[in-house]
Amino acid sequence: MVSLGCPKALVDAERILTRLRAEGYGISPDYAGADAVIVNTCGFLDSAKAESLEAIGEALRENGRVIVTGCLGAEPDYITGAHPRVLAVTGPHQYEQVLDAVHAAVPPAPDPFVDLLPASGVRLTPRHYSYLKISEGCNHKCRFCIIPDMRGRLQSRPAHAVIREAEKLVESGVKELLVISQDTSAYGVDIRHAKAHGHRAHITDLARDLGSLGAWVRLHYVYPYPHVRDLIPLMAEGLVLPYLDIPFQHAHPETLKRMARPAAAARTLDEIAAWRRTCPEITLRSTFIVGYPGETEEEFQTLLDWLDEAQLDRVGCFKYENVAGARSNALPDHLPEAVKQARWERFMQKAQAISEARLAAKVGQRLDVIVDEIDEDGVATCRTMADAPEIDGNLFIDEGTEALKVGDIVTVEVDEAGEYDLWGVLPGRA
Protein backbone atom coordinates (compact mmCIF):
# COMPACT_ATOMS: atom_id res chain seq x y z
CA MET A 1 0.00 0.00 0.00
CA VAL A 2 1.32 3.41 -1.02
CA SER A 3 -0.81 6.05 0.72
CA LEU A 4 -0.62 9.71 -0.31
CA GLY A 5 -2.46 12.81 0.83
CA CYS A 6 -4.14 13.82 4.07
CA PRO A 7 -4.84 11.89 7.29
CA LYS A 8 -8.36 11.15 6.05
CA ALA A 9 -6.82 9.20 3.16
CA LEU A 10 -4.55 7.44 5.64
CA VAL A 11 -7.61 6.26 7.59
CA ASP A 12 -9.09 4.93 4.33
CA ALA A 13 -5.85 3.03 3.71
CA GLU A 14 -5.94 1.56 7.22
CA ARG A 15 -9.52 0.36 6.72
CA ILE A 16 -8.65 -1.28 3.40
CA LEU A 17 -5.62 -3.03 4.90
CA THR A 18 -7.64 -4.12 7.93
CA ARG A 19 -10.23 -5.77 5.68
CA LEU A 20 -7.53 -7.44 3.56
CA ARG A 21 -5.60 -8.63 6.60
CA ALA A 22 -8.83 -10.12 7.98
CA GLU A 23 -9.13 -12.11 4.73
CA GLY A 24 -5.64 -13.53 5.16
CA TYR A 25 -3.64 -11.22 2.88
CA GLY A 26 -0.13 -10.33 3.97
CA ILE A 27 1.21 -6.79 3.77
CA SER A 28 4.58 -6.36 2.09
CA PRO A 29 7.01 -3.59 3.12
CA ASP A 30 8.32 -3.26 -0.44
CA TYR A 31 7.33 -3.64 -4.09
CA ALA A 32 9.37 -6.78 -4.72
CA GLY A 33 7.60 -8.86 -2.10
CA ALA A 34 4.07 -7.96 -3.23
CA ASP A 35 1.71 -9.68 -5.67
CA ALA A 36 0.01 -6.32 -6.28
CA VAL A 37 0.27 -2.70 -5.15
CA ILE A 38 -2.55 -0.41 -4.04
CA VAL A 39 -1.84 3.28 -4.56
CA ASN A 40 -4.13 5.51 -2.47
CA THR A 41 -4.05 8.84 -4.30
CA CYS A 42 -4.63 12.51 -3.57
CA GLY A 43 -6.36 14.72 -6.14
CA PHE A 44 -6.92 18.05 -4.41
CA LEU A 45 -4.25 20.17 -6.15
CA ASP A 46 -2.52 19.80 -9.51
CA SER A 47 0.76 19.24 -7.67
CA ALA A 48 -0.87 16.43 -5.66
CA LYS A 49 -2.24 14.90 -8.86
CA ALA A 50 1.25 14.96 -10.37
CA GLU A 51 2.65 13.27 -7.26
CA SER A 52 -0.06 10.60 -7.47
CA LEU A 53 0.65 9.89 -11.14
CA GLU A 54 4.36 9.65 -10.32
CA ALA A 55 3.65 7.17 -7.50
CA ILE A 56 1.47 5.07 -9.82
CA GLY A 57 4.24 5.10 -12.43
CA GLU A 58 6.83 4.01 -9.88
CA ALA A 59 4.60 1.16 -8.69
CA LEU A 60 4.08 0.02 -12.27
CA ARG A 61 7.84 0.06 -12.94
CA GLU A 62 8.75 -1.72 -9.71
CA ASN A 63 5.89 -4.22 -9.52
CA GLY A 64 3.65 -3.99 -12.60
CA ARG A 65 0.32 -4.90 -10.96
CA VAL A 66 -1.27 -1.73 -9.63
CA ILE A 67 -4.74 -0.90 -8.23
CA VAL A 68 -5.54 2.79 -7.83
CA THR A 69 -7.94 4.23 -5.26
CA GLY A 70 -8.46 7.51 -3.38
CA CYS A 71 -9.49 11.01 -4.39
CA LEU A 72 -7.83 11.02 -7.81
CA GLY A 73 -9.75 7.80 -8.50
CA ALA A 74 -12.80 10.03 -9.00
CA GLU A 75 -11.18 10.86 -12.38
CA PRO A 76 -10.47 7.38 -13.82
CA ASP A 77 -9.90 8.64 -17.37
CA TYR A 78 -7.21 11.01 -16.10
CA ILE A 79 -5.38 8.06 -14.52
CA THR A 80 -5.79 5.56 -17.34
CA GLY A 81 -4.83 8.22 -19.86
CA ALA A 82 -1.43 8.47 -18.19
CA HIS A 83 -1.15 4.84 -17.05
CA PRO A 84 -3.35 2.53 -19.16
CA ARG A 85 -1.79 -0.60 -17.57
CA VAL A 86 -3.34 -0.14 -14.10
CA LEU A 87 -5.54 -3.07 -13.09
CA ALA A 88 -8.41 -1.04 -11.62
CA VAL A 89 -9.38 2.48 -10.54
CA THR A 90 -11.78 3.21 -7.66
CA GLY A 91 -12.80 6.45 -5.99
CA PRO A 92 -12.43 7.66 -2.39
CA HIS A 93 -13.76 5.47 0.47
CA GLN A 94 -14.95 2.80 -2.02
CA TYR A 95 -13.68 -0.02 0.15
CA GLU A 96 -15.74 -2.81 -1.40
CA GLN A 97 -14.59 -1.95 -4.94
CA VAL A 98 -10.96 -1.99 -3.80
CA LEU A 99 -11.44 -5.40 -2.22
CA ASP A 100 -13.09 -6.68 -5.43
CA ALA A 101 -10.08 -5.43 -7.42
CA VAL A 102 -7.66 -7.14 -5.05
CA HIS A 103 -9.65 -10.38 -5.21
CA ALA A 104 -9.46 -10.27 -9.02
CA ALA A 105 -5.73 -9.54 -9.06
CA VAL A 106 -4.70 -11.83 -6.21
CA PRO A 107 -7.41 -14.42 -5.46
CA PRO A 108 -7.74 -15.02 -1.71
CA ALA A 109 -6.70 -18.31 -0.15
CA PRO A 110 -8.61 -18.50 3.15
CA ASP A 111 -6.78 -20.14 6.04
CA PRO A 112 -8.31 -20.01 9.53
CA PHE A 113 -4.85 -20.37 11.06
CA VAL A 114 -3.59 -17.27 9.26
CA ASP A 115 -6.67 -15.03 9.09
CA LEU A 116 -6.04 -13.39 12.43
CA LEU A 117 -6.55 -9.69 13.07
CA PRO A 118 -5.61 -7.56 16.06
CA ALA A 119 -8.66 -5.99 17.74
CA SER A 120 -7.44 -2.50 16.84
CA GLY A 121 -7.17 -3.30 13.12
CA VAL A 122 -4.19 -2.49 10.90
CA ARG A 123 -2.70 0.96 11.47
CA LEU A 124 -0.19 2.93 9.42
CA THR A 125 0.64 5.29 12.27
CA PRO A 126 2.88 4.43 15.25
CA ARG A 127 1.21 2.38 17.99
CA HIS A 128 0.87 5.29 20.41
CA TYR A 129 -1.32 7.59 18.30
CA SER A 130 -4.13 7.08 15.82
CA TYR A 131 -6.38 9.15 13.57
CA LEU A 132 -10.09 8.85 14.35
CA LYS A 133 -12.32 9.77 11.41
CA ILE A 134 -15.76 10.95 12.57
CA SER A 135 -17.37 11.86 9.24
CA GLU A 136 -16.92 11.94 5.48
CA GLY A 137 -17.70 14.67 2.96
CA CYS A 138 -18.49 18.36 3.35
CA ASN A 139 -21.50 20.64 2.83
CA HIS A 140 -19.51 23.81 2.13
CA LYS A 141 -19.07 25.19 -1.38
CA CYS A 142 -15.76 27.04 -1.17
CA ARG A 143 -14.88 28.11 -4.71
CA PHE A 144 -11.29 26.83 -4.55
CA CYS A 145 -12.21 23.34 -3.27
CA ILE A 146 -13.48 20.22 -5.06
CA ILE A 147 -13.62 17.93 -2.03
CA PRO A 148 -17.47 17.91 -1.92
CA ASP A 149 -17.40 16.75 -5.55
CA MET A 150 -14.89 14.00 -4.78
CA ARG A 151 -16.10 12.88 -1.35
CA GLY A 152 -19.74 13.96 -1.37
CA ARG A 153 -21.84 15.74 1.22
CA LEU A 154 -21.39 15.39 4.98
CA GLN A 155 -21.91 11.84 6.28
CA SER A 156 -21.44 11.60 10.05
CA ARG A 157 -20.70 8.32 11.78
CA PRO A 158 -22.99 7.39 14.70
CA ALA A 159 -21.48 8.68 17.93
CA HIS A 160 -21.54 5.29 19.65
CA ALA A 161 -19.56 3.78 16.73
CA VAL A 162 -16.91 6.49 17.03
CA ILE A 163 -16.67 6.01 20.80
CA ARG A 164 -16.43 2.24 20.46
CA GLU A 165 -13.58 2.56 17.95
CA ALA A 166 -11.84 5.03 20.25
CA GLU A 167 -12.23 2.67 23.23
CA LYS A 168 -10.68 -0.19 21.26
CA LEU A 169 -7.78 2.02 20.20
CA VAL A 170 -7.09 3.15 23.77
CA GLU A 171 -7.36 -0.46 24.99
CA SER A 172 -4.72 -1.43 22.40
CA GLY A 173 -2.25 1.17 23.73
CA VAL A 174 -3.06 4.35 21.82
CA LYS A 175 -2.15 7.42 23.91
CA GLU A 176 -3.38 10.12 21.51
CA LEU A 177 -6.54 10.29 19.37
CA LEU A 178 -6.44 12.73 16.45
CA VAL A 179 -10.02 13.57 15.48
CA ILE A 180 -10.37 14.25 11.75
CA SER A 181 -13.03 14.90 9.12
CA GLN A 182 -13.56 17.44 6.34
CA ASP A 183 -15.52 19.65 8.76
CA THR A 184 -15.26 18.53 12.37
CA SER A 185 -17.49 21.34 13.68
CA ALA A 186 -20.41 20.12 11.54
CA TYR A 187 -20.27 16.60 12.97
CA GLY A 188 -23.79 15.23 13.43
CA VAL A 189 -25.64 17.99 11.55
CA ASP A 190 -26.69 15.59 8.78
CA ILE A 191 -28.16 13.07 11.25
CA ARG A 192 -29.74 15.80 13.40
CA HIS A 193 -27.37 15.12 16.28
CA ALA A 194 -28.94 11.71 16.80
CA LYS A 195 -28.48 10.06 20.18
CA ALA A 196 -28.06 6.31 20.44
CA HIS A 197 -26.59 3.97 23.05
CA GLY A 198 -26.03 6.93 25.37
CA HIS A 199 -23.96 9.03 22.95
CA ARG A 200 -25.12 12.14 21.05
CA ALA A 201 -23.70 13.01 17.62
CA HIS A 202 -22.58 16.55 18.37
CA ILE A 203 -18.97 17.69 18.41
CA THR A 204 -19.17 19.08 21.96
CA ASP A 205 -20.71 15.88 23.34
CA LEU A 206 -18.30 13.74 21.32
CA ALA A 207 -15.29 15.70 22.57
CA ARG A 208 -16.47 15.30 26.16
CA ASP A 209 -17.05 11.55 25.71
CA LEU A 210 -13.66 11.04 24.05
CA GLY A 211 -12.01 13.06 26.80
CA SER A 212 -13.24 10.54 29.37
CA LEU A 213 -11.15 7.73 27.86
CA GLY A 214 -7.83 8.86 29.35
CA ALA A 215 -5.96 9.58 26.10
CA TRP A 216 -4.91 12.88 24.58
CA VAL A 217 -7.68 14.09 22.24
CA ARG A 218 -6.65 16.50 19.46
CA LEU A 219 -9.24 18.21 17.24
CA HIS A 220 -8.42 18.89 13.58
CA TYR A 221 -10.24 20.81 10.81
CA VAL A 222 -12.56 22.70 13.14
CA TYR A 223 -14.57 25.17 11.06
CA PRO A 224 -15.05 28.46 13.01
CA TYR A 225 -18.77 28.15 13.81
CA PRO A 226 -20.02 30.05 16.90
CA HIS A 227 -20.54 26.81 18.83
CA VAL A 228 -16.77 26.19 18.75
CA ARG A 229 -16.62 28.40 21.84
CA ASP A 230 -18.37 25.56 23.72
CA LEU A 231 -15.29 23.37 23.16
CA ILE A 232 -12.90 25.77 24.87
CA PRO A 233 -14.07 25.07 28.47
CA LEU A 234 -13.42 21.35 27.80
CA MET A 235 -9.84 22.31 26.95
CA ALA A 236 -9.53 24.44 30.07
CA GLU A 237 -10.73 21.44 32.11
CA GLY A 238 -8.14 19.16 30.49
CA LEU A 239 -10.69 16.84 28.85
CA VAL A 240 -9.32 17.55 25.35
CA LEU A 241 -6.00 19.07 24.35
CA PRO A 242 -5.91 22.89 24.29
CA TYR A 243 -5.35 22.84 20.53
CA LEU A 244 -7.55 24.04 17.67
CA ASP A 245 -6.76 23.39 14.03
CA ILE A 246 -9.07 25.91 12.38
CA PRO A 247 -8.90 26.81 8.64
CA PHE A 248 -9.29 30.61 8.37
CA GLN A 249 -7.87 30.77 4.76
CA HIS A 250 -7.77 34.60 4.66
CA ALA A 251 -8.70 37.72 6.63
CA HIS A 252 -9.95 40.31 4.14
CA PRO A 253 -13.77 40.29 3.75
CA GLU A 254 -13.67 40.71 -0.04
CA THR A 255 -11.18 37.86 -0.51
CA LEU A 256 -13.27 35.62 1.75
CA LYS A 257 -16.36 36.57 -0.24
CA ARG A 258 -14.65 35.55 -3.51
CA MET A 259 -13.69 32.29 -1.78
CA ALA A 260 -17.36 31.82 -0.76
CA ARG A 261 -16.36 31.64 2.89
CA PRO A 262 -17.85 33.56 5.84
CA ALA A 263 -16.47 37.12 5.79
CA ALA A 264 -16.15 37.73 9.51
CA ALA A 265 -12.43 38.31 10.14
CA ALA A 266 -13.01 41.08 12.71
CA ARG A 267 -15.38 38.90 14.72
CA THR A 268 -12.88 36.07 14.40
CA LEU A 269 -10.33 38.18 16.28
CA ASP A 270 -12.93 38.71 19.01
CA GLU A 271 -13.52 34.95 19.14
CA ILE A 272 -9.79 34.23 19.39
CA ALA A 273 -9.48 36.72 22.27
CA ALA A 274 -12.44 35.04 24.03
CA TRP A 275 -10.92 31.56 23.55
CA ARG A 276 -7.67 32.74 25.10
CA ARG A 277 -9.46 34.30 28.06
CA THR A 278 -11.19 30.98 28.76
CA CYS A 279 -8.12 28.81 28.06
CA PRO A 280 -4.89 30.88 28.12
CA GLU A 281 -2.72 27.89 27.13
CA ILE A 282 -4.67 27.17 23.92
CA THR A 283 -2.62 26.59 20.75
CA LEU A 284 -4.14 27.83 17.49
CA ARG A 285 -3.15 26.36 14.14
CA SER A 286 -4.52 27.51 10.80
CA THR A 287 -3.94 27.47 7.05
CA PHE A 288 -4.14 30.32 4.56
CA ILE A 289 -4.15 30.87 0.80
CA VAL A 290 -2.22 33.78 -0.71
CA GLY A 291 -2.42 34.99 -4.28
CA TYR A 292 -6.11 34.11 -4.63
CA PRO A 293 -7.66 35.55 -7.85
CA GLY A 294 -8.30 39.25 -7.39
CA GLU A 295 -6.25 39.56 -4.19
CA THR A 296 -4.96 43.15 -4.13
CA GLU A 297 -1.89 44.37 -2.27
CA GLU A 298 -4.26 46.05 0.19
CA GLU A 299 -6.13 42.78 0.81
CA PHE A 300 -2.86 40.93 1.32
CA GLN A 301 -1.62 43.60 3.74
CA THR A 302 -4.87 43.20 5.69
CA LEU A 303 -4.03 39.51 6.04
CA LEU A 304 -0.54 40.34 7.37
CA ASP A 305 -1.98 42.87 9.83
CA TRP A 306 -4.59 40.34 10.94
CA LEU A 307 -1.87 37.74 11.52
CA ASP A 308 0.04 40.28 13.61
CA GLU A 309 -3.00 40.75 15.80
CA ALA A 310 -4.13 37.12 15.94
CA GLN A 311 -0.64 35.81 16.90
CA LEU A 312 -1.43 32.26 15.79
CA ASP A 313 0.95 29.60 17.09
CA ARG A 314 1.09 27.33 14.04
CA VAL A 315 0.51 28.51 10.48
CA GLY A 316 0.56 26.84 7.08
CA CYS A 317 0.30 28.75 3.81
CA PHE A 318 -0.38 27.76 0.21
CA LYS A 319 0.04 29.71 -2.98
CA TYR A 320 -3.23 29.61 -4.90
CA GLU A 321 -3.30 27.27 -7.86
CA ASN A 322 -6.14 26.24 -10.15
CA VAL A 323 -7.70 22.86 -9.51
CA ALA A 324 -9.59 21.11 -12.29
CA GLY A 325 -13.31 21.51 -11.59
CA ALA A 326 -12.97 24.31 -9.03
CA ARG A 327 -15.21 27.34 -9.53
CA SER A 328 -12.36 29.71 -8.64
CA ASN A 329 -10.71 28.89 -11.97
CA ALA A 330 -13.29 31.11 -13.71
CA LEU A 331 -12.69 34.15 -11.49
CA PRO A 332 -11.09 37.20 -13.12
CA ASP A 333 -7.73 38.77 -12.21
CA HIS A 334 -5.53 35.74 -11.63
CA LEU A 335 -2.14 36.79 -10.25
CA PRO A 336 1.27 36.13 -11.83
CA GLU A 337 3.29 33.33 -10.23
CA ALA A 338 6.00 35.80 -9.19
CA VAL A 339 3.49 37.85 -7.18
CA LYS A 340 2.11 34.74 -5.49
CA GLN A 341 5.62 33.59 -4.60
CA ALA A 342 6.60 36.98 -3.19
CA ARG A 343 3.47 37.15 -1.03
CA TRP A 344 4.00 33.61 0.20
CA GLU A 345 7.54 34.52 1.26
CA ARG A 346 6.37 37.68 3.06
CA PHE A 347 3.59 35.77 4.81
CA MET A 348 5.88 32.95 5.94
CA GLN A 349 8.51 35.42 7.16
CA LYS A 350 5.94 37.03 9.46
CA ALA A 351 4.49 33.69 10.57
CA GLN A 352 7.98 32.40 11.35
CA ALA A 353 8.78 35.44 13.47
CA ILE A 354 5.55 34.98 15.43
CA SER A 355 6.27 31.28 15.94
CA GLU A 356 9.82 31.99 17.10
CA ALA A 357 8.64 34.59 19.65
CA ARG A 358 5.85 32.40 21.02
CA LEU A 359 8.19 29.42 21.38
CA ALA A 360 10.85 31.57 23.08
CA ALA A 361 8.27 32.43 25.74
CA LYS A 362 8.09 28.72 26.64
CA VAL A 363 11.75 28.52 27.72
CA GLY A 364 11.80 27.70 31.42
CA GLN A 365 8.32 26.17 31.41
CA ARG A 366 7.58 22.56 32.27
CA LEU A 367 5.49 20.83 29.60
CA ASP A 368 4.06 17.36 29.14
CA VAL A 369 5.36 15.70 25.97
CA ILE A 370 4.66 12.44 24.15
CA VAL A 371 7.68 10.49 22.87
CA ASP A 372 7.46 9.70 19.15
CA GLU A 373 10.93 8.30 18.45
CA ILE A 374 14.28 7.58 20.11
CA ASP A 375 17.20 7.34 17.68
CA GLU A 376 20.36 5.25 17.99
CA ASP A 377 22.17 8.16 19.68
CA GLY A 378 19.52 8.34 22.38
CA VAL A 379 17.96 11.59 21.13
CA ALA A 380 14.21 11.55 21.80
CA THR A 381 11.87 13.28 19.35
CA CYS A 382 8.76 14.34 21.24
CA ARG A 383 5.69 16.52 20.81
CA THR A 384 4.04 18.87 23.27
CA MET A 385 0.28 19.31 23.50
CA ALA A 386 0.78 22.15 21.01
CA ASP A 387 2.17 19.85 18.29
CA ALA A 388 0.27 17.54 15.96
CA PRO A 389 2.34 14.81 14.29
CA GLU A 390 4.02 15.60 10.96
CA ILE A 391 2.57 19.12 10.59
CA ASP A 392 3.80 20.99 13.67
CA GLY A 393 7.11 21.22 15.49
CA ASN A 394 8.91 18.87 17.87
CA LEU A 395 10.62 18.96 21.24
CA PHE A 396 13.98 17.19 21.39
CA ILE A 397 15.62 15.65 24.46
CA ASP A 398 19.35 15.17 23.85
CA GLU A 399 20.38 13.25 26.97
CA GLY A 400 19.11 11.18 29.85
CA THR A 401 16.61 9.25 27.72
CA GLU A 402 17.75 5.74 28.70
CA ALA A 403 14.54 4.99 30.60
CA LEU A 404 12.19 6.48 27.99
CA LYS A 405 10.07 4.42 25.62
CA VAL A 406 8.17 5.45 22.50
CA GLY A 407 4.64 6.41 23.55
CA ASP A 408 5.64 7.60 27.02
CA ILE A 409 4.14 10.88 28.21
CA VAL A 410 6.64 12.69 30.44
CA THR A 411 7.24 16.16 31.87
CA VAL A 412 10.12 18.14 30.38
CA GLU A 413 11.65 21.51 31.21
CA VAL A 414 12.18 23.63 28.08
CA ASP A 415 15.70 25.07 27.90
CA GLU A 416 16.00 26.18 24.26
CA ALA A 417 13.71 27.36 21.46
CA GLY A 418 14.10 27.72 17.70
CA GLU A 419 11.83 28.94 14.92
CA TYR A 420 9.52 25.92 15.04
CA ASP A 421 11.03 23.45 17.55
CA LEU A 422 11.93 23.23 21.23
CA TRP A 423 14.65 21.45 23.22
CA GLY A 424 14.25 20.29 26.78
CA VAL A 425 15.64 18.29 29.66
CA LEU A 426 14.03 15.80 31.99
CA PRO A 427 13.45 16.98 35.59
CA GLY A 428 16.49 16.38 37.77
CA ARG A 429 18.81 17.09 34.85
CA ALA A 430 17.89 20.76 34.41
Domain span at residue 389 reads 366-425
Cβ neighbours, 10 Å, residue 195? 16
Domain check: are 25 and 88 in the same one?
yes
Query: Do the domain assignments include residue 123?
Result: no
Sheet holding 66-70, edge to edge: 2-3, 37-41, 66-70, 88-89
For the entire predicted model, the pTM comes to: 0.75
Between CA 163 and CA 169 the distance in angstroms is 10
Domain check: are 350 and 383 in the same one?
no
Residues 188-244 pLDDT 10s: 999 999 998 899 999 999 999 999 999 999 999 998 888 889 999 999 999 999 999
Handedness of CA 225, 150, 48, 295 (dihedral sign): negative
Question: What's the structural domain count of the chain?
Answer: 3
Domain check: are 394 and 300 in the same one?
no
Domain check: are 338 and 373 in the same one?
no
CA dihedral 66, 70, 75, 80 (to 10 degrees): -10
Residues 228-261 pLDDT 10s: 899 999 999 999 999 999 999 999 999 999 999 8
Query: Do the domain assignments include residue 118?
Result: no
Query: Do the domain assignments include residue 114?
Result: no
User: What CATH number did the domain enclosing 380 receive?
Assistant: 2.40.50.140
Nearest to 392 by CA among 341, 332, 316, 303: 316
Residues 289-343 pLDDT 10s: 999 999 999 999 999 999 999 999 999 999 999 988 889 999 999 999 999 999 9
* For range 257-270, the mean pLDDT: 79
Between CA 410 and CA 372 the distance in angstroms is 12
Domain check: are 98 and 176 in the same one?
no
User: What CATH number did the domain enclosing 295 receive?
Assistant: 3.80.30.20
Between CA 223 and CA 281 the distance in angstroms is 20
Cβ neighbours, 10 Å, residue 48? 18
